[in-house]
Amino acid sequence: MGKFSTYRYLELKDDNSSSHVNIRSRTIKQPRRLKKVFIILIVLALIVTYFLGLFAGQSQWLDGIAKSLGYESVYHYAVIIDAGSSGSRVLAYKFRVPFTVFSQAKLDLVDEYFEESKPGLSSFANDPAKGADTIVQLIKRAEFLTPPEKRKDTPIIVRATAGLRLLPAEKAQQLIDEVQLAVSKLGYDVGPNSVKIMDGSDEGIFIWYTINLLHNLMDGETMAALDLGGGSTQITFELNDRDAKLYPAADQYVVPAGNNITLYTHSYLGLGLNAARYGVFLQEAGGNDTREFTSVCVEPIIQREPWTYANKEYFVSGAARRSGMKRAAALQLCHAAVRQYVLGAMDWEPQQPPRGNVAAMSFFYDIAADAGMIDVMQGGTVSAGAYRAAAARACSASNVEQPWACADLVYAVTLLSDGYKIPDNQPISLFKKVNGHEVSWALGLAYTTMMNKMAAAA
């Protein structure tokens, strides 16, 4: 199966608190009393053995009984900042430790708070202090969820994604340093690695954790996770022994999820929605450094439409040769340009589709919602074929209110079909929220961080 690298959780500083166990002993003076106690212990052992077999796997049932009897729950909190290329988001979480006797301790998600601000942190490359303040303001809006007495034990974790990866290293580090300094003054648990640029593999693994945690699939058949951001995209799914040899060993990670399982995850920098849109426009311009783009993926009625990418303003016009084209011809023309860019930008091209049921998030969801393919609030199930049909409609419509609809829909179907090899008829479940909880890699990071912290304290 190849040599795998073992995925390691974020290490958190222990609070160095000591636990004290008071042992109360009683002297047993009479042999007859000792015999009675021994018999009682044997009976208790037999009862426990019986209930171990009877109630194995009934942790929710036992937790419910414990709560009804006055069990005092222990709560943990975490604050995660997703500093993405298109915006920064705060996700504050409240976890509860359920009562358990027969299984390993875990966490239940009780509450969360989500808020977003724009533009992204990378937009403040020339003003790091202002960028850091946007992060501080997000944290302050979420502070109501964490009790004041708990904040010193509540980790704040800031992870910047593709936006900072695409910046010059010096500019990115200045932003990281400024944010680290600013959040360290807020009274939370902030360690030396609390603020950093996130590896693409981490992004993929944690969004996979999130979608499978929210669907209670960690002990069964898990879902593949497709995440489409502004600057990068990730694909993550569980591998079996037979398929492992088909994927690079460097992209395989052994992660704890019930039993240890092997994940394949790959992050494609430059294949996020906004980065890919820019890449296609630049390719059509022959790679020339220009602020004026003309694209076959834009309706000709649109002329000099302003668009900002990476803090620069561009003007995009539709190609005149699109005028009067039939729907199929317009789609084919745009698809050829997008496919050329996508396959050229992929540093690894899989030869088969992801294993298992497929879940897709972020811009996959937004593109489908904008096209009317799903309910904007509820999500739904689509397919690569559905994206293709919507792209055909968009590429033949004069929609000045959605100038990028053709380009974005064609990009979605190209990434799914040509990039990830997903058949046109395979169902793809689109999620923005599950049971009221935001679908973000932040939940996976918060969950594994707190589980690791609990294990270290134990």
Taking the C-alpha atoms of residue 450 and residue 143, their distance in angstroms, rounded to an integer, is 18
Task: Write the pLDDT tens digit of every residue in 198-250.
Answer: 999 999 999 999 999 899 898 789 999 999 999 999 999 999 989 999 999 99
Taking the C-alpha atoms of residue 382 and residue 373, their distance in angstroms, rounded to an integer, is 7
On whether both 292 and 350 belong to a single domain, the answer is yes
Taking the C-alpha atoms of residue 90 and residue 159, their distance in angstroms, rounded to an integer, is 11
On whether both 314 and 372 belong to a single domain, the answer is yes
Taking the C-alpha atoms of residue 395 and residue 325, their distance in angstroms, rounded to an integer, is 10
Taking the C-alpha atoms of residue 449 and residue 210, their distance in angstroms, rounded to an integer, is 13
* Residue 365, in any domain of the structure: yes
Cis peptide before 306 (omega within 30 of 0): no
Taking the C-alpha atoms of residue 348 and residue 395, their distance in angstroms, rounded to an integer, is 29
> 206 in helix, strand or coil?
helix
Q: Any idea which of 59-73, 309-323, 441-455 has the lowest mean pLDDT?
A: 59-73
pLDDT higher at 426 or 110: 426
The tokens for 440 are 């973000």
Residue 25 has pLDDT above 50, yes or no: no
52's CB contacts (< 8 A; 6+ apart) are 102
Residue 214 identity: L
Q: Count CB-CB contacts under 10 A for residue 164.
A: 25
Q: What domain count does the chain have?
A: 2
Give pLDDT, residue 356: 92
Give pLDDT, residue 454: 84
Residue 175 has pLDDT above 50, yes or no: yes
195 strand-pairing partners? 158
Task: Write the pLDDT tens digit of every residue in 36-57.
Answer: 665 566 566 556 544 544 444 4
On whether both 170 and 290 belong to a single domain, the answer is no
On whether both 414 and 445 belong to a single domain, the answer is no
42, 49 Cβ separation under 8 angstroms: no
The response to whether 230 counts as a known ligand-binding position is yes
Give pLDDT, residue 396: 87
Give pLDDT, residue 53: 44
Confidence of residue 403 (pLDDT cuts 50, 70, 90): very high
Q: Any idea which of 12-26, 112-126, 389-403 has the lowest mean pLDDT?
A: 12-26
Helices 405-414/273-284 angle, 10° precision: 100
Instruction: For residue 95, give the nearest of 80, 81, 112, 115 by alpha carbon.
Output: 112
Taking the C-alpha atoms of residue 50 and residue 40, their distance in angstroms, rounded to an integer, is 15
> 115 in helix, strand or coil?
strand
Tell me how far CA of residue 69 lies from CA of 60, 61, 73, 76, 268, in angstroms. 14, 13, 12, 22, 51
Residue 78 has pLDDT above 70, yes or no: yes
* Residue 417, in any domain of the structure: yes
CATH label of the domain that carries residue 136:
3.30.420.40
Taking the C-alpha atoms of residue 99 and residue 271, their distance in angstroms, rounded to an integer, is 44
Q: Please tell me what DSSP assigns to residue 403.
A: T
The response to whether 233 counts as a known ligand-binding position is yes
Taking the C-alpha atoms of residue 238 and residue 224, their distance in angstroms, rounded to an integer, is 7
Strands 5-6 and 252-257: parallel
On whether both 380 and 450 belong to a single domain, the answer is no
On whether both 177 and 304 belong to a single domain, the answer is no
Q: Any idea which of 59-63, 117-121, 285-289 has the lowest mean pLDDT?
A: 59-63
* Residue 185, in any domain of the structure: yes
Q: What are phi and psi of 452, to 5 degrees?
A: -65, -40
Taking the C-alpha atoms of residue 425 and residue 387, their distance in angstroms, rounded to an integer, is 11
Residue 18 has pLDDT above 90, yes or no: no
159, 446 Cβ separation under 8 angstroms: no
* Residue 264, in any domain of the structure: no
* Range(s) of the domain holding residue 365: 273-426
On whether both 93 and 166 belong to a single domain, the answer is yes
Task: Write the pLDDT tens digit of every residue in 128-162.
Answer: 999 999 999 999 999 999 999 999 999 999 999 98
Q: Count CB-CB contacts under 10 A for residue 110.
A: 14
On whether both 165 and 277 belong to a single domain, the answer is no
* Residue 50, in any domain of the structure: no
The response to whether 232 counts as a known ligand-binding position is yes
Taking the C-alpha atoms of residue 109 and residue 133, their distance in angstroms, rounded to an integer, is 29
Confidence of residue 101 (pLDDT cuts 50, 70, 90): low
Q: Is 401 a catalytic residue?
A: no
Give pLDDT, residue 161: 92
Confidence of residue 21 (pLDDT cuts 50, 70, 90): very low
Catalytic residue among 143, 178, 203, 284: 203
On whether both 406 and 443 belong to a single domain, the answer is no
The percentage of the chain sitting over the pLDDT mark of 90, rounded to a whole number, equals 68
> What's the average model confidence in pLDDT over 117-133?
94
The sign of the torsion formed by the CA atoms of 240, 242, 247, 248 equals: positive
Give pLDDT, residue 106: 73
